[in-house]
Structure 1
């Protein structure tokens, strides 16, 4: 049960995606500050359209594959730009942050390589991120950095965008050894997708999902900017055949509760990649446990949304969720994303900090000499490259067996149709289930699994709403709701999301009590924090988010009752 709503103010929690406002703008005077703007069209802009833009702006860069151009102009010029013939929209240069918060065994990718012999060879994965370190042996950009392997990083591009001056606002610096200037995030992601694992004292221990695949890296800055992202998309699509690019990985996003807009330039770029036969993977976001918190770029119908999972096959707490019963707001599949060990870039101090937590209690944590080359981190940033690497395995197998590449739609269907069901979770939360690379590759070889996905379920979403509070430590304020469960139901999810959004959840707590049709208490969420006992049931005390949830597997038929209780220091929650 859920009251569906669209929140407008993101809350920053831990390793969370966030949207940062573009650089300052000014008046239309000659001294007005310049900024980069994205102008979208129906198709890549023609020369005549670019000439018109040059007449009303300080600098222009037209893309050849993405239906957009970048212009440098003061903010006062935006209304004029919007009124030009053929212009679909004008967008600010947003910034995005990474989705950070022995996994190849959990997804059975290791078995694909060791038992079936597929490695992703002949397929290239484009990684649009903060950058990739080609001096690392697992991602070597030149023979001098490899350990007896072919070059992995066949192209490494630093995209220098947001040049708010009267020059070309987009500059490509190709053939870079390393574009990962500080965080190490992009290198970690690339290593998960396709790293060789040769830097380890035990060669292959930290091998990526598709170790035979090649990588093209796009360094778009530590705060990934929209202009740079579009430039990277455009370059990847234009060079698809040269490098064999079949999948683009994006481990970043605009923040939870950002309204979906199919006209957004990034979504239009994803459309262009889809039309070019390239799958696009996004991390679902790290705003779990809250409902309706997906990375909106990942929910685009032509993207693949990767939710974050634990290595035991359960959902990670941080993984964002969609909307119950929605055909649009849900992950595609769930993939390993918690405590993932991968490449540590030579400049990766951010990943070193993440390792301090990601390695705790992690049986795969790097030790000894390996700590110089590998680090652990968590987030759907890590889940996305598991999916991208699996797509490389699928495409290699399909091409070798059937003589053709699968279409992006066939690939997405295959991933969904071969995912392992996750008992106790519904589609809005985990998508089709847990990524199974082994089953997906076997299906690609057999030529099956590419038809439309149908989970065979129907969903009965019954909203409830109310207000509780104020209350003291001992609760005195409640409201309740009843709902009917039909015979044969597979699962029952009961959830509560509350506001106002400024709430500090640790001090503003609600609890759920769920009662069976016979009146007995099924369970309450007070202080609930035992993922092993009930993976999809928890308290805000455990997650520090204004959301609580209970799941019943195979619930008995009849009328169930939920009671929402004002908890510690509740001050009027709705």
Structure 2
């Protein structure tokens, strides 16, 4: 059985006492950390994993495509051709298990195959003139990264009007996602108290459940496919269960304004949990079938989804690129043809997204990750295939109370489910459901305004058009899309309204914005809200290399010519200190007097 396709990452979760949800836009009361879940180590992607399943699609009109009784003879010929080669010794059988949603056959080998043997089998299958494509039915896994400092209290910077947040309150004035279904293809979900009322029936598509002693038990629930999408735990090789699907679902649509725990991005929407990941991951064929089912397609032996999804979120992936994963591309194309928008996590390997599936597939909205300061996350995948970025968290952000993680619904069980918990995670897995939630807000707003549902192409176009610029542009060799996801602006476009210029990024009080770089005379504008009664306002640039100047003004954007406050020292260490500052919005502008890099910007009002 294949291992998860990921680099080795540490995963840490914390269960905390259930606190009180704040009024929207305000910080929660600080809960106390109670339980620490041990570190989870995922297998190294460099390890060579055995292969036991394949996906084979026959050409339309061919004998095996017309008559399934002809499939087995084709497979016997392929296994006979493989036996006796230099790489394949001993007995080997290929058995067609079922026909998948895209018309491809799911094929099992009679024993695990190493990489060389699997390639021989693929060559034999592909030599058949009736075969359209053949691929390994590989394992995909949840793209999760978890906090390493779990005893810190929770602030949902990711949903609010922070420099790296999605500006949820601006969207919630017009839409909460009511009437929209978001299918979360993941580990399933637990009935968390702050999520359960927003869950609708889904399905468990994990088909591999260890029918014999030689087969791995991916499902972990004692059976194969069934209507129960509850997460029984995905512990893997001594590592604890992640409750990943519950966390992702909470980011999409945790119950809000209920006096409990956290808020969701689109808290009026419904989440449809679709279980595709079990112990150590999930099969590509199961995921492809789940995509088709979630979009309302027909799967043999499974009831048609009575509530087809408007949006599909996949915070999962595997290596190899979509050109090697035709079945996933076909399933995505089907979903999009039905009007379902497909949002996927870009991946956490700090590599080009084209090397991964489903993030590298066509017709998806691939989402990169940023930290609390709106800067590129250290782990995120990148490339021209990434549409936009959203909060994924990054602990290097030095973000105070939240420590820069994404906090959502979870569970404190190490293997099987225990008690409800709030859990902090980081990764593009956390970025994608923010965007899936924004799509739900957009669709609800568009339908409510009488404009009708947006097509997936329109959703993509409006999302890209609505982004805010990065406060610190990503490196040119690591692009992560058009800019930062902005729920408020996206909903305005969905309503058919024109957009003003995006606001200047808002700095968090006392939290440094790191990594600023620019050329001679290039400038960056920021703002900070100074509360009434503040005794001082301290504005600074520090660290890095080069030469910058700093300008500030209350209520208006300052320039080098008319700014009432300025600091013009040589180098990057600039400081403006104002006593008894005027309350309200203050603006500060950083101007390069020469090229500069790795400069931090800090604003403190107190």
Q: Which residue of 2 aligns with 1:433?
A: 483
Contact map agreement 2:367 2:428 (CA 8 A) in 1: yes
The answer as to 2:90 corresponding to 1:50 is: no
Q: Which residue of 1 aligns with 2:315?
A: 251
Q: Give the greater-gyration-radius structure (CA).
A: 2
Q: Which residue of 2 aligns with 1:412?
A: 460
Aligned-partner SS, 1:446: coil
Aligned-partner SS, 1:261: helix
Deviation at 1:424, TM superposition (A): 3.3
Distance 1:445 1:162, change over 3 A: same
Aligned-partner SS, 2:251: helix
Q: 2: distance between equivalents of 1:316 and 1:91?
A: 32
Q: Which residue of 2 aligns with 1:395?
A: 443
Contact map agreement 1:185 1:351 (CA 8 A) in 2: no
Contact map agreement 1:158 1:179 (CA 8 A) in 2: no
Distance 1:514 1:69, change over 3 A: farther
Q: 2: distance between equivalents of 1:174 and 1:110?
A: 35
Alpha-carbon displacement from aligned partner over 1:363-421 (angstroms, at most 9, x marks no partner): xxxxxxxx943111111110011111111111111122235221111101111100101
Aligned-partner SS, 1:231: helix
Aligned-partner SS, 2:194: helix
Query: What are the within-5 Å matches in structure 2 for residues 158-173 of structure 1?
Result: 158-161=205-208, 171-173=224-226
Contact map agreement 1:184 1:348 (CA 8 A) in 2: no
Distance 1:293 1:61, change over 3 A: closer
Q: Which residue of 1 aligns with 2:16?
A: none
Q: Which residue of 1 aligns with 2:508?
A: none
The answer as to 2:142 corresponding to 1:98 is: yes
TM-score by length of 1: 0.61
Contact map agreement 1:184 1:349 (CA 8 A) in 2: no
Distance 1:51 1:293, change over 3 A: closer
Aligned-partner SS, 1:153: coil
Aligned-partner SS, 2:131: coil
Contact map agreement 2:310 2:340 (CA 8 A) in 1: yes
Distance 1:42 1:297, change over 3 A: farther
Q: Which residue of 1 aligns with 2:494?
A: 444
Deviation at 1:100, TM superposition (A): 1.5
Q: Which residue of 1 aligns with 2:387?
A: 332
- Please, which runs of 5 or more residues in structure 1 have no aligned partner? 1-8, 26-34, 141-148, 323-328, 353-370, 450-484, 492-512, 517-532, 535-552, 563-574
Q: Which residue of 1 aligns with 2:133?
A: 89
Q: 2: distance between equivalents of 1:183 and 1:153?
A: 21
Contact map agreement 1:17 1:252 (CA 8 A) in 2: no
Distance 1:191 1:10, change over 3 A: closer
Greater mean alpha carbon deviation, residues 48-57 or residues 87-96? 48-57
Deviation at 1:171, TM superposition (A): 4.7
Deviation at 1:189, TM superposition (A): 0.7
Contact map agreement 2:229 2:274 (CA 8 A) in 1: no
Aligned-partner SS, 2:310: strand
Q: 2: distance between equivalents of 1:348 and 1:414?
A: 41
Distance 1:275 1:17, change over 3 A: farther
Deviation at 1:63, TM superposition (A): 2.6
Alpha-carbon displacement from aligned partner over 1:91-120 (angstroms, at most 9, x marks no partner): 11211222112122121224422x22x221
Q: Which residue of 1 aligns with 2:292?
A: 234
| Counterpart among 269, 284, 294 of residue 331 in structure 2 | 269
Alpha-carbon displacement from aligned partner over 1:253-306 (angstroms, at most 9, x marks no partner): 224xx4552653223322222222211111112223x67786453233311111
Query: What are the within-5 Å matches in structure 2 for residues 47-126 of structure 1?
Result: 48=66, 50-55=68-73, 56=75, 57-64=94-101, 66-74=102-110, 78-101=122-145, 102=156, 103-105=158-160, 106-113=165-172, 115-116=173-174, 118-126=175-183
Q: Which residue of 2 aligns with 1:37?
A: 54
Deviation at 1:21, TM superposition (A): 7.4
Q: 1: distance between equivalents of 2:363 and 2:286?
A: 21
Q: Which residue of 1 aligns with 2:204?
A: 157
Aligned-partner SS, 2:468: coil
Q: 1: distance between equivalents of 2:57 and 2:183?
A: 23
Deviation at 1:10, TM superposition (A): 7.7
TM-score by length of 2: 0.58
The answer as to 2:8 corresponding to 1:12 is: yes
Alpha-carbon displacement from aligned partner over 1:533-554 (angstroms, at most 9, x marks no partner): 99xxxxxxxxxxxxxxxxxx98
Q: 1: distance between equivalents of 2:358 and 2:43?
A: 12
Q: Which residue of 2 aligns with 1:571?
A: none
Distance 1:87 1:19, change over 3 A: farther
Distance 1:279 1:43, change over 3 A: farther
Distance 1:561 1:333, change over 3 A: closer
Deviation at 1:130, TM superposition (A): 1.8
Distance 1:416 1:95, change over 3 A: same
Deviation at 1:423, TM superposition (A): 3.6
The answer as to 2:270 corresponding to 1:208 is: no
Distance 1:90 1:292, change over 3 A: closer
Contact map agreement 1:110 1:209 (CA 8 A) in 2: no
Deviation at 1:121, TM superposition (A): 1.8
Alpha-carbon displacement from aligned partner over 1:233-261 (angstroms, at most 9, x marks no partner): 23213358721301111112224xx4552
Q: 2: distance between equivalents of 1:121 and 1:429?
A: 33
Q: Which residue of 1 aligns with 2:275?
A: 219
Alpha-carbon displacement from aligned partner over 1:426-473 (angstroms, at most 9, x marks no partner): 575231111001110111011679xxxxxxxxxxxxxxxxxxxxxxxx
Deviation at 1:22, TM superposition (A): 8.5
Alpha-carbon displacement from aligned partner over 1:309-335 (angstroms, at most 9, x marks no partner): 22332222222232xxxxxx3421111
